[in-house]
């Protein structure tokens, strides 16, 4: 079955540590997105990529970094510069230009906690 796989499901980070969240899709979608969700809040855009080897900052990119070396993969690194990283992280994908035909598919999320 096609879909988006996020791993790990739960992640604990120590102060000053960088951690990487994985997002892999087998839908052949070209556009991928990272969102952050805090309790009782909507989703906020961190980074997005519409093509391999290209990505753009979203609304809250500070303290995060991404790469897009393969079409199916869009990992997110939460760096030590991100002062309040505890949140629910969601990866999504779609076909750029055909969003209403394909919709935006979400992964099951990674819950990151600072310990």
Binding positions for other proteins, rule: CB under 8 A: 31, 33, 35, 40-45, 48, 50, 56, 58, 90, 92, 96-97, 99-100, 103-104, 106-109
Min CB(60)–other proteins separation in Å: 12
What is the rounded distance in angstroms from the CA atom of residue 26 to the CA atom of residue 2? 5
Of 17 and 97, CB closest to other proteins: 97
What contacts 97, CB < 8 A, 6 or more positions away? none
What's the sign of the alpha-carbon dihedral 64, 57, 46, 83? positive
Of 65 and 80, CB closest to other proteins: 65
Min CB(29)–other proteins separation in Å: 12
Say which DSSP state 59 is in.
S
Of 8 and 97, CB closest to other proteins: 97
DSSP notation for 9-39:
SEEEE-TT--EEEEEEE-S--SEEEEEEE-T
Of 18 and 97, CB closest to other proteins: 97
């Amino acid at each position: 079955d096609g879909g988006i796989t996020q791993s790990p499901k739960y992640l604990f980070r120590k102060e000053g540590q960088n951690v990487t969240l994985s997002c892999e899709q087998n839908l052949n979608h070209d556009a991928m997105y990272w969102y952050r969700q805090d309790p009782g809040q909507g989703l906020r855009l961190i980074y997005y990529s519409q093509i391999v080897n290209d990505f753009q900052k979203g609304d809250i990119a500070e303290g995060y970094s991404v790469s897009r070396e393969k079409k199916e993969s869009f990992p997110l690194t939460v760096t030590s510069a991100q002062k309040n990283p505890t949140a629910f992280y969601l990866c999504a994908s779609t076909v750029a230009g055909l969003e209403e035909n394909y919709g935006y598919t979400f992964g099951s999320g990674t819950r990151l906690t600072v310990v």
